[in-house]
Structure 1
Amino acid sequence: MAEPIEWLADGAPYNPRFGDRYRSEAGLAQARGVFLQGCGLPQAWAGRAHWTILETGFGLGLNFLVAWAAWRSDPQRPARLHFVSVEAYPASADDLRRSAHAFPELQPLADELAAQCWGLRPGVHRLRLDRGRVLLTLAIGEAQPMLRELVCPADSVFLDGFSPACNPGIWSLDTLKAVARCCRAGTRLATWTIARAVRDSLAQCGFTVQRVAGVPPKRDRLEASYAPAWTPRQRPQPWHDDDALPAVPGHCTVLGAGLAGASVARQLAERGWQVQVLDAGQAPAAGASGLPVGLFSPHDAANDTLPTQLSRAGARCTADLLQALLQADSDYALSGVLERRMRGARTPTAPGDAFSAAADAAQLQAAGLPADAPAQWHAVAGWVRPARLVQALLAHPAIRFRGGCRTTTVQATPQGWSLRDADGRELHSTPLLVVTAGIGSAALLELDALQNVRGQVSLGPCPPALPLPAMPVNGHGHFIPAVPGAQGPLWLSGSSFERGDTATDLRETDQRYNLERLQALLPATAQAIAQGPAPAAWAGVRCASPDRLPLAGPWAPGLWVLTALGARGLTLAPLAAELLAARLHGEPLPLPARLVAALDPRRLRTA
């Protein structure tokens, strides 16, 4: 639930919980004079590939909007601006817009921000703005624990919570220690308060602090620089990025031209790499990513587990990407997905929001389901043609595709990695290699724990008499209605799930299996299909890990991995690729530390 805000007679926003205004009467001047100027911006970021600002207290987003506007107007700006902010009590999108009314020059940016401020449950959320060049990471929760969840090497720090008298926790020594753990030598910090306790705590955390002239009506403010007299002890992490020092873009190779490979290639190309994509197929999406149409959707469980948190973050990322690259209603549809829960399944305990909520009577009726059917409505979900997404991702001037490369081994060399065929002949060499080879990844990485999973979908035309739900329905199997086709709308249903099977022949047994599951999911639709002509089919083989989580991260020096996406490639591949690229470049990560550790591929070495 959004934080209630009162609007005072002078138009200022006021927070009853803390008994304090969100900003002073000189709000815009303070944002520019205290925070930007106090951190030496925009001059300090000139010529940098990316810049990261860490903020305590997002509030109504004024500091973010001012930093974003400064970045847009600076010809020397970095290619990518990261703004990472913690906020325990997020405001509503409407209040964000209303707050910006006082600053007309910021209103267009505030409108773009507000359009993405939905589904802000406790946790870490990545919002992609300005065509993905401005990345806002919101950590929703109390400052100290959320800061410990962030992986955020900060270049600048804005301390801007409610006053120390009203909200002492956000200024506490423990919170400032958590801030310091995100800093490097020379990170500059700025704040409007000159409270003695804050100055002393900052000094104790390794900052050199100076009191300087403030922005009227305040007489003073603080500027600080992180320069500890000791060698800071690194916070223990469940992974080690010794092999992953921030990389300098050059030439690299992605092995695999499916959804995972195309997503990684695009992320690296946008960071300045020249990317060679190799695949055994003659064209991209020759393997499991050749699925005619698939679903992307978050998943809510009875307990808010790591996989459910990952799926929500992934669905948001995929939805952003589709809207940026593809044609709506032809290549994809952000239609929402109804997830039917079979009798006896546990109901999610998380409250409904703009992401997911209990299905209402109208949605159940539109799906052709009984009014008492237990179901969950996922608004940030829909269908997509994977091959078209792969093509769009690879359509970048810094990406080159080369097919017919049947790589069977990869070998470390003094210069990087050598890719060789079955006869030992070198096909390619590269200083940086990312393996995204799906079911081929196990042999290349000598990782027996990965599993092959065969899946077959059924598909057919949608005649007028066929009873169709108004949206895709998921559950024990799935059904996608009315996908545009060359000869008219199509339906798709499936898929089978056969571990250890790598064959892609089409099987009548799988067709019957899909129809049986559809009978439980949508009985009327299944009955009508059974009485019509035999449907067509498509089969592919996916790669999965023992814990059903992807592998995304470094495997060895110069060798990175993105694989084992299982049946959730459309939901997880773009987010996992963004995570991999962010780790490679020392950027803030789009996921909390616990999830980063859960996806690290090296976890399987000790499994």
Structure 2
Amino acid sequence: MEPLAPAHLSWDGDHPWAVDYEDVYYGSEDPQGEVRTVFIDASRLPQRFATTARFALGETGFGTGLNFCLTLATWRECASRDAFLSYLSAEAHPLAPADLARSLRAQGIATGDIETLLAQYPPPLSGMHRIHFPADRVVLTLVYGDAAPALARVQGRVDAWFLDGFAPSRNPALWNLAVFRQLARLSSTGTTLSTFTAAGQVRRDLAEVGFVVQKQPGFSGKRERTTGVFSDAQPTAPAADRIAVVGAGIAGLSTALALRERALRVTLFDHQGVAAQASGNPAALLTPHLSAGDSGRNALALSGMRATQALLEATGATDWGSIVLAHGVEHRGITRHAARRLAHLAASDPGRSGDLFTVLSDGADLPTLFYPGALGIDLGRYCRQLGAGLELRQHAVLSVQSGGDGVTVHADHGPEAFDAVVIATGAGATALAAGQPLPGLVGGQMTRIRTPLAALGNHALTGRGYCLPERDGQHWLGATYRRDRGSAGVRDADNDANIRNLGWVDRALEDPSSVEISDAWYGARAVFRDRLPMVGAMPGPPQGLGHPQMRIFLNLGYGSRGLLYAPLAAQVLADRICGLPEPLPDTLAQRFSPTRFDPAERQDG
């Protein structure tokens, strides 16, 4: 992630002017009329929206967001209630939030849409940032950075393009073969494009990459504009309709919801029910995992935090009380390893991680960071809320077998055919993902205490172990980290260990024998050696696109970071299965790849 220079504006009334490009954001006195004529109507969006289950729209030049907001309004008017829209937009110089709001308010955009946009508006850092409009089944993915290299990192397919940068003579970096080749790569046969310009070189370059272009009458005094259709054949994955998700923890539930949002029929399998294993944790932390020397991991953390916060907001779980136990997490460098890591972070620029942290103390003896967006969550209760509206089969899945046009799930009640299967069974993946790299198992125990802790406010503390407030004046302490597979279940020794490890929180915890223990919880977590999950098609021999092997997907191995990564990985998988633009650059998605431990792939990478 690299900081971006924001757009430098001047104003003519309510019309913004790009100082650096010496050009206007709105090309006429009727900006909304121009957007509808040049982009929405030229792309036949009302008709196409009315007949689609999923639609992907791409744009070069997000600007003030007016194109998106008017497209969103058209989607609401024309699309069916269960259809899904993915809107991808590239921007090298994003507007400051205040400028964005001023521009959209001047155009009469609904206050609610502006507020939703601003509430999730990303920091000005290069990369991909997703904004959710869950009530409309719409996601906006902002691709920040120079268009050609940024779009080269996008995976997925686009059905229609809006080309809406500044004039080609003012902004040649957005109107060239390097950019147009990326548009072609992301297009399928029949993908349309529309733009206000009719510049000859633009039309010739678009034709060179495979678009059949035509001149159209211009809008409001402009003589001509351009439309086009992509003609080169591109292979596409077979359409999917019925998906099975095996495993009803946070990974499986997030995946099932993301697939259902994309108008797919989803069946969830878990013979033990929802959150019966590690996702039943009554006191989990959502915190970013940051590194002063690994900007890629920080980008994953930023995307993960944003995805989980969006899911919490969409499902109404952000209020205090039954699900959210703490807002904000204070991280102290209690251990030697944590002290070194936090000291390096404290010396770095918080803005380069999207301001995921602030520095409370940079002292070498006890560096302390605060994560303002972090949360303490009753994960088990939240998972049960997520699963309430899903179709759950409490049957044991014995095996999955690909062949023909789909995958057969062999469960204890008999076989059932699906178009694709996602294995999200965490610690129980051994039988279903035979022959694949499997995670190690690590046991963890939480301890609930009734002892008052004066030093703890409304946020959680972490350092050596973690502590967060709970209902009725109680607190959760945790968690142990057992590598011995044969020691499942709650142990008194682990309760004592949790209390001793958290002695730095409050003097009331210095003597374990004086602490009133009211409950305990144990769960086994699946973890890979790099502490990242496996997300993607099950590895196997190289196969062509659409081969049955590509219909079995893995989503497992989260360890203690399910809240941070599972909702993000669910978006990645759901988009990949549907062939939609994904929320992560390919270089970051590769960090989740099930083949990342393969020596040949590491050498190629």
Output the TM-score relative to the length of structure 2: 0.87
1:503 paired residue number: 487
Of 181, 186, 202, the residue aligned with 1:182 is: 186
Aligned equivalents of 2:550, 2:331: Cα separation in 1: 42
Q: Residue 451 of structure 1 aligns to which amino acid in structure 2?
A: G
Of 490, 497, 500, the residue aligned with 2:474 is: 490
Shift of 1:564: 0.6
**What is the 5 A alignment of 1:179-578?**
179-228=183-232, 245-250=237-242, 252-281=243-272, 283-327=273-317, 328-330=319-321, 331-332=323-324, 335-341=327-333, 342-345=338-341, 346-348=343-345, 349-352=348-351, 355-356=354-355, 358-359=357-358, 373-396=366-389, 399-403=390-394, 405-412=395-402, 416-419=407-410, 427-431=414-418, 432-446=420-434, 447-463=436-452, 466-480=454-468, 482-484=469-471, 488-501=472-485, 503-519=487-503, 522=505, 524=507, 526-527=509-510, 531-534=514-517, 536-555=519-538, 556-578=549-571
1:518-574, Cα deviation, whole Å (9 max, x unpaired)? 245x36564387753356432110011233221122223532221111111112112
Contact 1:356-1:377 within 8 A present in 2 as well: no
Aligned equivalents of 1:77, 1:533: Cα separation in 2: 52
Which segment drifts farther, 451-460 or 21-30?
Answer: 21-30
Aligned equivalents of 1:413, 1:226: Cα separation in 2: 32
Q: Residue 268 of structure 2 aligns to which amino acid in structure 1?
A: V
Contact 1:119-1:353 within 8 A present in 2 as well: no
Shift of 1:318: 1.2
> Cα gap change, 1:525/1:152 in structure 2, threshold over 3 Å: closer, same or farther?
farther
Aligned equivalents of 1:371, 1:359: Cα separation in 2: 16
Aligned equivalents of 2:257, 2:380: Cα separation in 1: 15
Which segment drifts farther, 527-536 or 286-295?
Answer: 527-536
SS of 2:313's partner is helix
1:435-476, Cα deviation, whole Å (9 max, x unpaired)? 21111102321235421111112221252x632144112344
Aligned equivalents of 1:189, 1:319: Cα separation in 2: 34
Which segment drifts farther, 143-152 or 447-456?
Answer: 447-456
Aligned equivalents of 1:75, 1:81: Cα separation in 2: 9
Of 120, 125, 135, the residue aligned with 1:121 is: 125
Aligned equivalents of 1:137, 1:112: Cα separation in 2: 14
> Cα gap change, 1:149/1:334 in structure 2, threshold over 3 Å: closer, same or farther?
farther
Of 16, 19, 22, the residue aligned with 1:16 is: 19
Q: Residue 537 of structure 2 aligns to which amino acid in structure 1?
A: P
> Cα gap change, 1:452/1:502 in structure 2, threshold over 3 Å: closer, same or farther?
farther
1:239 paired residue number: none
Aligned equivalents of 2:215, 2:501: Cα separation in 1: 69
Shift of 1:151: 1.2
Say whether 1:597 aligns with 2:590. yes
Contact 2:84-2:261 within 8 A present in 1 as well: no
Aligned equivalents of 1:355, 1:124: Cα separation in 2: 12
> Cα gap change, 1:108/1:470 in structure 2, threshold over 3 Å: closer, same or farther?
closer
Contact 1:561-1:601 within 8 A present in 2 as well: yes
Which segment drifts farther, 102-111 or 572-581?
Answer: 102-111
Q: Residue 449 of structure 2 aligns to which amino acid in structure 1?
A: G
SS of 1:589's partner is coil
Q: Residue 498 of structure 2 aligns to which amino acid in structure 1?
A: N
Aligned equivalents of 1:394, 1:319: Cα separation in 2: 18
Contact 2:250-2:279 within 8 A present in 1 as well: yes
Q: Residue 329 of structure 1 aligns to which amino acid in structure 2?
A: W
> Cα gap change, 1:19/1:473 in structure 2, threshold over 3 Å: closer, same or farther?
farther
Aligned equivalents of 1:575, 1:212: Cα separation in 2: 41
Contact 1:466-1:529 within 8 A present in 2 as well: no
Shift of 1:301: 1.0
Aligned equivalents of 1:574, 1:217: Cα separation in 2: 48
Shift of 1:394: 1.7
> Cα gap change, 1:222/1:276 in structure 2, threshold over 3 Å: closer, same or farther?
closer
Aligned equivalents of 2:462, 2:558: Cα separation in 1: 18
Output the TM-score relative to the length of structure 1: 0.87
Contact 1:50-1:78 within 8 A present in 2 as well: no
Shift of 1:55: 0.6
CA RMSD of aligned residues (A): 2.8
1:87-108, Cα deviation, whole Å (9 max, x unpaired)? 1111122211100122224443
Contact 1:449-1:546 within 8 A present in 2 as well: no
Aligned equivalents of 1:377, 1:246: Cα separation in 2: 46
Contact 2:83-2:263 within 8 A present in 1 as well: no
Aligned equivalents of 2:195, 2:554: Cα separation in 1: 41
1:36 paired residue number: 40
Which segment drifts farther, 269-278 or 79-88?
Answer: 269-278
The size of the alignment, in residue pairs, is 574
SS of 1:442's partner is coil
1:266-320, Cα deviation, whole Å (9 max, x unpaired)? 2233334443322232x32111111112111222211244333222212111111
Shift of 1:83: 0.8
2:83 paired residue number: 79
> Cα gap change, 1:194/1:386 in structure 2, threshold over 3 Å: closer, same or farther?
same
Which segment drifts farther, 314-323 or 442-451?
Answer: 442-451
Structure 1 residue ranges without an equivalent (≥5)? 235-241
Contact 2:122-2:129 within 8 A present in 1 as well: no
Q: Residue 522 of structure 2 aligns to which amino acid in structure 1?
A: A
Aligned equivalents of 1:45, 1:372: Cα separation in 2: 59
SS of 1:127's partner is strand
> Cα gap change, 1:131/1:461 in structure 2, threshold over 3 Å: closer, same or farther?
farther
> Cα gap change, 1:21/1:566 in structure 2, threshold over 3 Å: closer, same or farther?
same
Contact 2:326-2:460 within 8 A present in 1 as well: no
Aligned equivalents of 2:326, 2:455: Cα separation in 1: 21
Aligned equivalents of 2:12, 2:226: Cα separation in 1: 30
